[in-house]
Chain A
Amino acid sequence: QVQLVESGGGLVQTGMSLRLSCAASGSTFSSYPMHWVRQAPGKGLEWVAVIWSDGGKKFYSGFAEGRFTISRDNSKNTLFLQMSSLRVEDTAVYYCARDGTWNDAPKFYFDYWGQGVLVTVSS
């Protein structure tokens, strides 16, 4: 049973930083590309970033480029999202999600999702 458990969310002020973690279990974490997806309150899903299974490549959505950094520690089965220069519009539930392919390169879809963690950015 694949489980993804996010942590690290909370209330921060604009301009501050926050680091999210996602602990994975139940599958070979190091074999799967991983993503972060967010959802603002009452809004739709918005992709944030992807990281290859070996961490060798990363891609970001436009709003995340230069402010957010995705990383992973395969020895600890953990995915991270370092967020800096946070804005009010970054307020959202952040989900980690496993890519649907058992391979180094992603297929850019999500077969398992975590329960999400709320990040609130206030001015």
Chain B
Amino acid sequence: SYELTQAPSVSASPGQTASIPCSGHKLGDKFVFWYQQKPRQSPILVIYENYMRPSGIPERFSGSNSGNTATLTISGTQPMDEADYYCQTWDRDTVIFGGGTKLTVL
């Protein structure tokens, strides 16, 4: 079965750029989606179809996907961006999530 791999944690200082990678076999051939989840809250879609931002999501959130790696990039990271981030794709009519990356804004 298809798998997505994420690093457990990433840190960034306020104002810096945070990059959160997600890897999978030939992931660049698939659509990748990203969700932000803060403690005790439901997930929020922040990127869909590799790089598209839903309305209401700040421009500092961007996405890319090529080869075996998709990346969520947060430019000018803010303390409010501290959260768990999950990548997601689908394969053969099933949904696959990465294990999640905890972003700490120091």
For residue A44, which residues in chain B have a CB less than 8 angstroms away from its CB?
86, 97-100
The answer for the CA separation of A35 and B33 in the assembled complex, in Å, is: 15
Does A102 sit within 8 A of B, measured CB to CB? no
Interface of B is mostly: strand
| CB-defined contacts of A13 to chain B, threshold 8 Å | none
Per-position binary interface string of chain A over residues 38-82, scored 1 when its CB falls under 8 Å from any chain B CB and 0 otherwise: 000000111100100000000101100000000000000000000
Whether A109 pairs with B42 at a CB distance below 8 angstroms is no
Determine the distance from Cα of A98 to Cα of B37 in the docked complex, in whole angstroms. Answer: 17
Give chain A residues whose Cβ lies under 8 Å from the Cβ of B94: 47, 59, 61
Total contacts A-B at CB 8 Å: 55
- Give B98's nearest chain A residue, CB to CB: A44
Which residues B32-59 have CB closer than 8 A to chain A?
Answer: 33, 35, 37, 42-45, 48, 54
Cβ contact within 8 Å between B45 and A47: no
> What is the minimal beta-carbon distance from B102 to any residue of chain A, in angstroms?
11
With a cutoff of 8 Å between Cβ atoms, the chain B residues found around residue A115 in the complex are 42
A120 to B92, CA, bound (A): 30
Interface 1/0s, chain A 105-122, versus B by CB < 8 A?
A: 001111101111000000
- Residue A95 lies at the interface, judged by CB distance under 8 Å to chain B: yes
Contact status B88-A109, CB under 8 Å: yes
Size of A's binding interface in residues, CB under 8 A: 21
| Contact code string B88-106 (vs A, CB < 8 Å = 1, else 0) | 1010011111111000000
Tell me whether A45 and B45 are in contact in the complex, defined as CB-CB below 8 angstroms, given that A59-B93, A109-B33 are known contacts.
no
Q: CA separation between A103 and B48, bound complex, in Å?
A: 17
Least CB separation from B52: chain A residue: A100
Do B42 and A116 touch across chains, with their CB atoms under 8 A apart?
A: yes
Instruction: Say whether B42 contacts A47, CB under 8 Å.
Output: no
Complex contact B100–A109 (CB within 8 A): no
B60 CB, min distance to chain A CBs, angstroms? 20
Nearest chain B residue, comparing its CB with the CB of A108: B90
A44 to B100, CA, bound (A): 6
Complex A-B, nearest 5 residue pairs according to Cβ-Cβ distance, in ascending order: A108-B90, A47-B95, A113-B42, A109-B33, A44-B100
B positions within 8 Å CB-CB of A: 1, 31, 33, 35, 37, 42-45, 48, 54, 86, 88, 90, 93-100
